[in-house]
Amino acid sequence: MTPLEARTLERLSARRDHLARLTASRNEHRWVDLMRRVDAAIGALEVGTWGFCAVCHDPMSAERLAEDPLVRVCLECLSEAERRGLERDLQAAGKVQRTLLPPARLVQAGWEVAYHWEPRGVVSGDHVDLIPPAAPGSPLHLVLGDVSGKGVAAALLQSHLHALFRALVPTGQPLPDLFKRANELFAEATSSVSYATLAALRLESDGRFSIANAGHPRPLLADGRGVRPLEGGGLPLGLFGDSVYTERELALAPGQTLLLYTDGWTEAARGEREFGIGRAAASLRRSASLPLPDLLTACRADLERYLGDAPRGDDLTLVAVRRVA
Ligand SMILES: [Zn+2]
């Protein structure tokens, strides 16, 4: 038996015991049906046919089996109705994810923030949030993150990050403390299997801001003379429970633009050739004096021109920040 098979057998046997207790007390149709499926999977494990599609007999993906050890048919062999069911679930998940997004452009507390959020598929592992000041005069928080992995699993963890920061920010702790706590909780939730890169800004109403960075691509600052990256940062969230984070305190002057992004921008590639930080910086330099929504559109268009008809490999998010006079 492979380790996956052994682990699955253990899980299924425990589940079977649990179901047996349930069906003994209430002979409900759904429990009985589920127990039949669990029994069939245990039987298949014992005779060595588990993990193979019941229709085409090809091995199924280990990832999918680990998620649901009861699947019997590979994705290619699903019936049209089953396929439509999966598609509906995915569309519903995408809709939920969009309701968590902040407004696409926000002017508040002396700041203007606009962003472009573009999932590769129906859902995204990119996390963007704007957490409004708790009271007049308190800071506005901007959070941008990127969860490892793809698809629904990454999207679930994205919504977990959303909840974490929504709960932690109002405590008013400095960013390093907030990151430390978020890291502990995220590591606990994901058993250190997944991780997220994340940058957060605390925007004060007088133009000062502090920034903390957990392994996220360096934000770019356009100041009228040129574009430079903001250095500094710690390890991604979720990797090690005891990571330590720092913050930098800076100020943004009117006319300067700060651009945060996920690696779907700089690592987008045409064949082997990445768009890269150089082209990204040049793109920002050219558009730095445009209104923020136009700046985002221009940066996106530069990338589109570079990629041509090359397939997109990742989610993409761009967030632009500026002072308003
Ligand atoms: Zn099949």
Residues 6+ apart with CB under 8 A from 146: 125, 126, 127, 196, 197, 198, 216, 262, 263, 264, 315, 317
Same domain for 139 and 267, yes or no, is yes
User: What distance in angstroms lies between residue 124's CA and the mean position of ligand 1's atoms?
Assistant: 27
Which domain covers residue 304, as residue numbers? 95-323
Ligand 1 centre and the CA of 36: distance in Å?
21
pLDDT given at position 153: 82
| Ligand 1 centroid distance, CA of 30 (Å) | 26
Tell how far the Cα of 230 is from the centroid of ligand 1, in angstroms: 50
Centroid of ligand 1 to alpha carbon of 263 (angstroms): 35
Percent helix, strand and coil across the chain, each to the nearest 5: 45, 20, 35
pLDDT score at 27? 64
Residue 88 falls inside a structural domain = no
Residue 173 CA, chain-centre distance (Å), reads 24
Examine residue 240 and state whether it is found in any structural domain, yes or no. yes
In a domain, 61, yes or no: yes
- On whether the CB atoms of residues 288 and 226 are closer than 8 A, the answer is no
Assess whether 76 and 101 both reside in one domain: no
Residue 89 lies in a domain: no
Q: How far is the CA of 78 from the centre of ligand 1 (A)?
A: 7
The alpha carbon of 53 and the centre of ligand 1 are apart by a number of angstroms equal to: 5
Instruction: Find the CATH number of the domain harbouring 187.
Output: 3.60.40.10
Entry pTM: 0.79
What is the CA(81)–ligand 1 centre distance, in A?
A: 15
At 163, which amino acid appears?
A
Ligand 1 center from residue 144 Cα (angstroms): 39
pLDDT number for residue 257: 97
Give the residue ranges of the chain where pLDDT is below 70: 26-27, 192
Of 48, 82, 116, the residue at which a domain comes to its end is: 82
Distance 60 CA to ligand 1 centre (A): 8
Kindly state whether residue 87 falls inside one of the protein's structural domains. no
Measured in angstroms, how far is the CA atom of residue 55 from the centroid of ligand 1?
5
From the centroid of its chain, how far is CA 270? 23
Whole-number pLDDT of residue 26: 66
Q: What are phi and psi of 279, to 5 degrees?
A: -65, -35
Strands (E) across the chain are located at 105-108, 111-118, 126-131, 140-147, 196-203, 208-214, 220-222, 227-229, 248-251, 257-261, 269-270, 273-274, 316-323
Cα 59 to ligand 1 centre (Å): 8
CA of 16 to the centre of ligand 1 (A): 26
| Nearest Cα residue to 321 out of 39, 38, 128 | 128
* Token code pair at residue 22: 């349930």
Assigned domain for 90 exists:
no
Q: What is the pLDDT of residue 161?
A: 96
